Amino acid sequence: MARVVILGAGIMGLAAALRAAQLGHHVDVLEVDSRAGGMAAHLDFAGVSIERFYHFVCRSDAMTFAIMDELGISDRMRWVPTSLAYYIDGRLHDWSTPLSLLKFPHLDLISKFRYGLQMFLATRRRNWSDLDALPVRTWIERGSGRRVYETLWRRLLELKFFEFSEDVSAAWIWTRLKRVGTSRRSLFQEELGYIEGGSETLVTALCTAVEQLGGRIHLSRPVQLVEAKNGRVIAVHAGDRIFPADAVISTVPAPLLPELVPDLPDDTKAAYRAIRNIGVVCVMLHLRQRVSPYFWVNIVDPTIEIPGFIEFTNLRPVGANIVYVPYYMPVTHEKWQWSNERFVQEAFGYLRQVNSTLRETDLLDSSIGRLRYAQPVCGPRFLETLPKVQTPIAGLQAADTCYYYPEDRGISESVRFGRLMAEAL
Ligand SMILES: Cc1cc2nc3c(=O)[nH]c(=O)nc-3n(C[C@H](O)[C@H](O)[C@H](O)COP(=O)(O)OP(=O)(O)OC[C@H]3O[C@@H](n4cnc5c(N)ncnc54)[C@H](O)[C@@H]3O)c2cc1C
């Protein structure tokens, strides 16, 4: 039995804690925030408990289902027919079925055929080795042509990744397309899921299970130092407490590690620092009426500086209309300094542009979630740049959401990784 200290009570940290406790270890989880859940945590908004950041589940999220089964909460999964749209040139275009692509007025027939084929093959593909070295632009232009990239992709990538938009790996985009593309009831009906009660249902069940096995979850407990001696971890310092440790599993954003673990070799520190992330300012709006019938709307419009919005309550009904407008950006972008009010004003103005029947008085409430390390930027051959999960310090493993490249951030993958690290103890 080892004393295992886990940094971070997000899904990965909690999944690692549960597995380590099941294996009989003494587990302490240290979390800077006042609530568990990390990116999947909730807040109270519009009279309901809801995710700070929108969360949906896809049919391929195998590890989400596995852990829900283990925790006895499988009956809380719900599946809903959903649809996607593009807003281009002042109009919403349904984008849910092969017919939508045929009717779409902004592409010629050959481009539509090539794009449809490329997307279909992407959902069938299993191997990503030949996509690993390609930037997404090259992949889309080779498969579907430049017109498709310019019409459907360029602006979305630029408004999410800004100066990094030409450096996003095709393998990473492919896993995103495949995850959503295979979450369908039929060719003509996309179907996405949510957990009844939101992702907090999973977080709470994880915390309860960890504590029932004797593990302890310490909230509002920021880790300041992972102490090593003779090349092996011995303790974690957090606030006024020192937690002796035989093993440490870090799930905090990897670029924080050089400060937290001063004993790491310089080349490992440099590799963690080199992992690029973009932040997110996620605007939540409580509205008197719906903006659209769609769950997800992509926006390609030169007058609108957001890549889209998520009308979350078209997926998970909570008795109020709640829309998320995520502003992803490098934290060096000038907008990162904007006040919350300015973001709300701009975001609501854009929604009114999409749906001109929305009035000023339809905005009932708003809230903003900010996250500095919201999305790793995974360029071609990304894995080759990452330090190993087992760090050069014996007993210290470290990973964050970029470690499951080419998969994108996701609850399912964080569960898988957390468990793997606990099993490697
Ligand atoms: C806007 C947005 C939308 C998303 N949508 C979806 C979705 O639809 N479906 C889906 O499956 N996934 C989605 N995700 C991704 C999903 O939320 C994440 O993959 C998952 O929650 C990551 O969990 P984690 O534990 O790996 O990381 P995190 O949740 O980041 O956990 C790391 C934890 O470490 C803590 N920490 C940091 N520094 C310290 C310190 N010094 N001391 C102690 N603790 C510290 C943090 O507070 C945090 O709780 C979304 C994420 C975002 C941001």
With b for 16 or more beta-carbon neighbours within 10 A and e for fewer, the 98-134 pattern comes to eebbeebebbeeebbebbeebbeebeeeeebeebbeb
Residue-wise DSSP of 156-225: HHHHHHGGGGGG-BHHHHHHHHHHHHT-EEETTEEEEEEETT-HHHHHHHHHHHHHHTT-EEESS--EEE
> What dihedral angle (degrees, nearest 10) is formed by the CA atoms of 187, 188, 190, 196?
-120
**Three-state secondary structure call for residue 419:** helix
State the Cα–Cα distance between residues 221 and 143, nearest whole angstrom: 49
* Residue 206 within any structural domain of the chain: yes
361 in the same domain as 280: yes
pLDDT in tens, the chain (425 residues): 899 999 999 999 999 999 999 999 999 999 999 999 999 999 999 999 999 999 999 999 999 999 999 999 999 999 999 999 999 999 999 998 889 999 999 999 999 999 999 999 999 999 999 999 999 999 999 999 999 999 999 999 999 999 999 999 999 999 999 999 999 888 779 999 999 999 999 999 999 999 999 999 999 999 999 999 999 999 999 999 999 999 999 999 999 999 999 999 999 999 999 999 999 999 999 999 999 999 999 999 999 999 999 999 999 999 999 999 999 999 999 999 999 999 999 999 999 999 999 999 999 999 999 999 999 999 999 999 999 999 999 999 999 999 999 999 999 999 999 999 999 99
- Ligand 1: nearest atom to the Cα of 369: 1
35 in the same domain as 122: no
**Strands 296-300 and 277-287, sheet pairing:** unpaired
Judge contact between 291 and 331, C-beta under 8 A: no
C-alpha 13 – ligand 1 centre gap (Å): 10
C-alpha 415 – ligand 1 centre gap (Å): 11
Q: Please count the structural domains in the chain.
A: 3
State the Cα–Cα distance between residues 157 and 164, nearest whole angstrom: 9
C-alpha 7 – ligand 1 centre gap (Å): 12
C-alpha 72 – ligand 1 centre gap (Å): 23
C-alpha 275 – ligand 1 centre gap (Å): 16
Judge contact between 94 and 100, C-beta under 8 A: yes
Q: Please tell me the predicted confidence (pLDDT) of residue 186.
A: 83
Q: Please tell me the predicted confidence (pLDDT) of residue 1.
A: 84
Instruction: Look at ligand 1, atom 5, and give the residue with the nearest C-alpha.
Output: 55
Over its C-alpha atoms, the chain yields an Rg (Å, rounded) of: 22
* Residue 75 within any structural domain of the chain: no
- Ligand 1: nearest atom to the Cα of 375: 53
State the Cα–Cα distance between residues 328 and 406, nearest whole angstrom: 20
Judge contact between 183 and 192, C-beta under 8 A: yes
343 in the same domain as 303: yes
- Ligand 1: nearest atom to the Cα of 324: 1
CA atoms within 13 A on the CB side of 114: 16
C-alpha 389 – ligand 1 centre gap (Å): 18
260 in the same domain as 290: no
Instruction: Look at ligand 1, atom 10, and give the residue with the nearest C-alpha.
Output: 410
Instruction: Look at ligand 1, atom 38, and give the residue with the nearest C-alpha.
Output: 252
256 in the same domain as 298: no
Judge contact between 330 and 270, C-beta under 8 A: no
Q: Which of 260, 296, 409 to mutate to test the pocket of ligand 1 (most atoms within 8 A of CB)?
A: 409
- Ligand 1: nearest atom to the Cα of 409: 19
* Residue 171 within any structural domain of the chain: yes
C-alpha 208 – ligand 1 centre gap (Å): 19
267 in the same domain as 409: yes
* Residue 412 within any structural domain of the chain: yes
From residue 165, how far is each of 34, 67, 137, 159, 329 by CA, in Å?
34, 34, 9, 8, 11
198: left (phi over 0), alpha (psi -120 to 50) or beta: left
Residues with CB under 6 A from ligand 1: 7-13, 30-33, 38-40, 53-56, 222-223, 251-252, 256, 280, 282, 326, 371, 374, 400-401, 409-412, 414
Q: Please tell me the predicted confidence (pLDDT) of residue 69.
A: 98
State the Cα–Cα distance between residues 160 and 306, nearest whole angstrom: 8
178 in the same domain as 202: no
C-alpha 39 – ligand 1 centre gap (Å): 3
Q: Please tell me the predicted confidence (pLDDT) of residue 188.
A: 79
- Ligand 1: nearest atom to the Cα of 224: 41
Instruction: Look at ligand 1, atom 15, and give the residue with the nearest C-alpha.
Output: 410
Element (H, E) at 278: strand 277-287
150 in the same domain as 230: no
* Residue 66 within any structural domain of the chain: no
* Residue 99 within any structural domain of the chain: yes
* Residue 346 within any structural domain of the chain: yes
State the Cα–Cα distance between residues 252 and 38, nearest whole angstrom: 9
CA atoms within 13 A on the CB side of 290: 15
**Domain C-terminal end among 170, 189, 208:** 189
C-alpha 256 – ligand 1 centre gap (Å): 14
From residue 375, how far is each of 17, 116, 330, 349, 403 by CA, in Å?
24, 28, 10, 26, 12
**Strands 277-287 and 77-82, sheet pairing:** unpaired
Question: Residue 351 — φ and ψ, nearest 5°?
Answer: -65, -35
175 in the same domain as 318: no
Q: How many CB atoms lie within 10 A of CB 337?
A: 8
Instruction: Look at ligand 1, atom 2, and give the residue with the nearest C-alpha.
Output: 53
263 in the same domain as 130: no
Verdict on whether the full-model pTM lies above 0.95:
yes
The parent domain of residue 356 ranges over 276-376
Q: Which of 12, 39, 210 to mutate to test the pocket of ligand 1 (most atoms within 8 A of CB)?
A: 39
Structure tokens at 244: 């002796």
